[in-house]
């Protein structure tokens, strides 16, 4: 085998990829194309149509990475694609027919096939007013966002079509607009967000002119739907180093536009507690969460856990900044931010709960009742996540590994207490609402108050969690409430 070829086994795909240096000579990528892809290409060719692998698939292949999905482009019109695939006993779903895209299912595999197109006018800053099909692959490539995403690989032989020298940019790890950045960003306000997202995902630099054009396109970015912004934020959070994108967003004005609450954390010094201002601290915490493969909710919680600090900051008499109740205000603000970005209620509740509880200060003096109260407040299923958030938070105090010692001690105490039985929610009480009703306590608000008081009692002293004792305590509470009401 020639020295410039290397083999790579990537899941079900097996590629022989030529080093990019040699493309100029041959313009060929030697690759073992998946047999199904070859079969689909054969069917198209027999119908006089061409098929190319395009977009992220080619980019990732040139990076030597695994390909997640097959993005294909063709000169066949969507109607023709449908007919060709159906005649070959495949299935077609018009998933993005407005953009000329259909998804085809063939012999257990799927691929998105988009008809070559040129885009004309953009008046809403997001979608072209009309779509014009073309038979020229180079025209199709010129409507794509970045040079690294504007490369096509002709199937089945692997001829590379790279009018914007995207392969060179991939080699140099550069994100560059395909064409004039001001014009390209002016057409579609999602592109600047994609640029910063790719910078974090791939660890690439954004080329200077491309980067400089972002701040001029903010009024177009403003038109992007919150759902699309959220999808990009999610991809940033899933990247190895989210801060890379958020700092680029800050530099270009995108952070102020989409996450103004976070950008207001810049310059909020917290000397006495931290080396960093609130924004850098939050970004470090988020990077820690990403580096340690924490869940998506934890990454969001790490990013926003201190977002309320600018609002509550006050200087005390000794000249030290204080941030009382910042966890509550941060949770409230995060709820608004995540609602605005159309996150699901399940995600919002989980993230905000973690943020609200993140300020526990465990010491060995905590009584068992205090540990039980901590478990009840946090919720047993959230304990591990809260420890993780605390790790991310404390690692970002000084930008080094957090002190695991205290957390380990708390976790040990929690484990021991959980071994002695569980009475942390109303469901765990030895009496139910029905039992209380039988004892003469009417259902409604009073019943709710009494059940909560019983829970407090049991958390303080689990020995009280027997039916007999709780009925007695409940009876006494009820009498007290009843007498107080009569006096009024
Ligand atoms: P990934 O799927 O990993 O997010 P991708 O590059 O495949 O990355 P897709 O959103 O799947 O991104 O888009 C496929 C291709 O379509 C891109 O590679 C690019 O060529 C083109 N494209 C996507 N969004 C835009 C856009 N907003 N403007 C111009 N071209 C775009
Ligand atoms: Mg893709």
Q: What is the pLDDT of residues 106-163, one digit of tens each?
A: 999 999 999 999 976 666 766 667 789 999 999 999 999 999 999 999 998 888 999 9
Highest-confidence segment of 245-249, 316-320, 426-430, 470-474? 245-249
Which of 149, 191, 192, 193 has the most ligand 1 atoms within 8 A of CB, as the residue to mutate? 149
pLDDT digits (tens, 9 = 90+) for 189-216: 999 999 999 999 999 999 999 999 999 9
- How many angstroms is it from 280 CA to the middle of ligand 2? 31
Alpha carbon distance 112, 103 (integer Å): 4
> What are the pLDDT digits (tens) for 396-407?
876 556 677 889
β-pair type (174-175, 205-206): parallel
**CA-nearest residue, atom 7 of ligand 1:** 56
Residue 272: pLDDT band (50, 70, 90) is low
In percent, how much of the chain has pLDDT > 70?
89
Closest of 278, 202, 186, 276 to residue 236, by C-alpha? 202
Question: How far does residue 54's CA lie from ligand 2's centre (Å)?
Answer: 9
Q: Is the pLDDT of residue 14 over 60?
A: no
- For residue 485, what pLDDT is reported? 80
From the number of C-beta atoms within 10 Å of its C-beta (0-12, 13-18, 19+), residue 410 rates as: buried
pLDDT at 274: 65
Query: What does the pLDDT read at residue 433?
Result: 92
Distance 274 CA to ligand 2 centre (A): 40
> What confidence tens digit (pLDDT) does each residue in 22-64 have?
344 444 555 567 889 999 999 999 999 999 999 999 999 999 8
**Cis bond leading into 462, ω under 30°?**
no
pLDDT of 29 reads 55
Model pLDDT, residue 60: 92
Per the model's pLDDT, the better-predicted residue between 223 and 2 turns out to be: 223
> Ligand 1: which residue has its CA nearest to atom 15?
55
Q: How far apart are CA 231 and CA 193, in angstroms?
A: 10
| pLDDT tens-place string over residues 157-196 | 888 999 999 999 999 999 999 999 999 999 999 999 999 9
Question: What is the pLDDT, as a whole number, of residue 205?
Answer: 98
Of 136 and 17, the structure prediction assigns the larger pLDDT to 136
Lowest mean pLDDT among 8-22, 155-169, 219-233: 8-22
SS (H, E, C) 103-123: EEEECCEEEEEEECEEECCEC
Neighbour count for residue 211 (Cβ, 10 Å): 20
Structure tokens at 67: 């390909």
- Write a three-state SS string for the chain: CCCCEEEEEECCEEEEEECHHHHHHHCECCCCCCHHHHHHHHHHHHCCCCEEEECHHHHHHHCCCCCCCCEEEECCCHHHHHHHHHHCCCEEEEEEHHHCEEEEEECCEEEEEEECEEECCECCCCCECCEEECCCHHHHHHCCCEHHHCCEEECCCCEEECCCCHHHHHHHCEECECCCHHHHHHHCCHHHHHHHHHHHHHCCEECHHHHHHHHCCHHHHCCCCHHHHHHHHHHHHCCCCHHHHHHHHHHHCHHHHHCHHHHCCCCCCCCCCCCCCHHHHHHHHHHHHHHCCCCHHHHHHHHHCCCCHHHHCEECCCCCEECCCHHHHHHHHHHHHHHHCCCCHHHHHHHHHHHHCCCCCCCCCCCHHHHHHHHHHHCHHHHHHHHHHHHHHHHHHHCCCCCHHHHHHHHHHHHHHHHCCCCCCHHHCCCCHHHHHHCCCCCCHHHHHHHHHHHHHHHHCHHHCCHHHHHHHHHHHHHHHHHHHHHC
Is residue 396 within 8 Å of residue 284, measured between CB atoms? yes
Task: Tokens for 74, please give them.
Answer: 């063709």
pLDDT at 378 over 60: yes
- Which residue has the least CA distance to atom 14 on ligand 1? 55
Give me ligand 1 centre to Cα 55, in Å. Answer: 6
Q: pLDDT tens, 230-256? A: 999 999 999 999 999 999 999 999 999
Q: How far is CA 70 from CA 28, 165, 239, in A?
A: 19, 22, 21
Check residue 126 and give its pLDDT: 65
Residue 6's pLDDT is what?
26
Q: For ligand 1, atom 26, name the residue with the nearest CA.
A: 145
Q: Output 149 or 8, whichever has higher pLDDT.
A: 149
Task: With a cut of 90, say whether residue 86 has pLDDT above it.
Answer: yes
Q: How far apart are CA 73 and CA 54, in angstroms?
A: 6
Q: Distance between terminal CA atoms of the chain?
A: 95
Pairing, β 71-74 against β 109-115: parallel
For ligand 1, which residues put their CB under 6 angstroms from it? 55-56, 71, 144-145, 149-150, 188, 190-191
Kindly report the number of other CB atoms within 10 A of residue 376's CB atom: 18
Q: What is the atom index within ligand 1 of the atom nearest the CA of 191?
A: 27
Cα separation values, 50 from 60, 75, 89, 148, 160, Å = 22, 6, 19, 22, 14
Mean per-residue pLDDT over the chain, rounded: 89
Structural contact between residues 443 and 450, judged by C-beta atoms closer than 8 angstroms: no
Those residues whose C-beta lies under 8 Å from the C-beta of residue 127, and which sit 6 or more positions away, are 188
Residue tagged 């109260």 (tokens): 373
pLDDT band for position 395 (cuts 50, 70, 90):
confident
């Amino acid at each position: 085998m020639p020295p410039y070829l290397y083999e790579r086994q990537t899941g079900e795909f097996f590629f022989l990829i030529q080093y990019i240096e040699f493309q100029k000579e041959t313009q060929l990528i030697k690759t073992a194309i998946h047999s199904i892809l070859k079969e689909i290409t054969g069917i198209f060719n027999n119908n006089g149509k061409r098929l190319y692998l395009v977009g992220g698939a080619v980019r990732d292949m040139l990076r030597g990475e695994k390909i997640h999905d097959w993005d294909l482009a063709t000169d066949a019109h969507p109607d023709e694609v449908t007919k060709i695939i159906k005649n070959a006993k495949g299935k077609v779903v018009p998933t993005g027919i407005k953009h000329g895209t259909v998804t085809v299912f063939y012999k257990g595999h799927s691929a998105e096939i988009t008809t070559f197109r040129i885009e004309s006018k953009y008046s809403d800053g997001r979608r072209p007013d009309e779509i014009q099909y073309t038979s020229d692959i180079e025209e199709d490539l010129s409507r794509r966002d970045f040079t690294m995403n504007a490369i096509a690989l002709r199937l089945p032989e692997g001829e590379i079509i790279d009018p914007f020298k995207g392969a060179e940019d991939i080699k140099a790890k550069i994100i560059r607009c395909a064409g004039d950045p001001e014009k390209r960003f002016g057409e579609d306000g999602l592109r600047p967000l994609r640029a910063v997202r790719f910078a974090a995902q791939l660890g690439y630099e954004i080329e200077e002119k491309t980067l400089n054009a972002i701040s001029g396109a903010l009024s177009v970015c403003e038109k992007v739907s919150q759902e699309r912004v959220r999808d990009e934020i999610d991809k940033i959070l899933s990247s190895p180093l989210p801060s890379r994108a958020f700092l680029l967003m800050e530099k270009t004005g995108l952070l102020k536009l989409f996450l103004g609450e976070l950008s207001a954390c810049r310059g909020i010094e917290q000397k006495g507690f931290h080396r960093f201002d609130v924004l850098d601290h939050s970004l470090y915490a988020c990077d820690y969460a990403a580096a340690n493969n924490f869940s998506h909710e934890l990454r969001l919680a790490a990013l926003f856990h201190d977002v309320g600090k600018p609002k509550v900051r006050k200087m005390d008499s000794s000249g030290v900044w204080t941030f009382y109740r910042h966890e509550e205000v941060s949770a409230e603000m995060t709820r608004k931010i995540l609602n605005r970005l159309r996150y699901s209620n399940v995600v919002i509740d989980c993230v905000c709960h973690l943020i609200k509880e993140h300020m526990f200060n465990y010491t060995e003096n905590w009584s068992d009742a205090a540990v039980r109260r901590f478990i009840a407040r946090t919720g047993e299923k959230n304990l591990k996540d809260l420890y993780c958030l605390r790790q991310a938070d404390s690692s970002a105090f000084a930008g080094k590994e957090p002190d695991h010692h205290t957390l380990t001690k708390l976790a040990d105490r929690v484990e021991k207490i959980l071994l002695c039985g569980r009475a942390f929610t109303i469901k765990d009480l030895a009496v139910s609402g029905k039992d209380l009703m039988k004892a003469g306590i009417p259902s409604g608000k009073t019943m709710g108050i009494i059940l909560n008081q019983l829970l407090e009692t049991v958390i303080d002293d689990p020995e009280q969690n027997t039916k007999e004792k709780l009925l007695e305590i409940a009876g006494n509470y009820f009498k007290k409430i009843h007498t107080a009401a009569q006096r009024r």
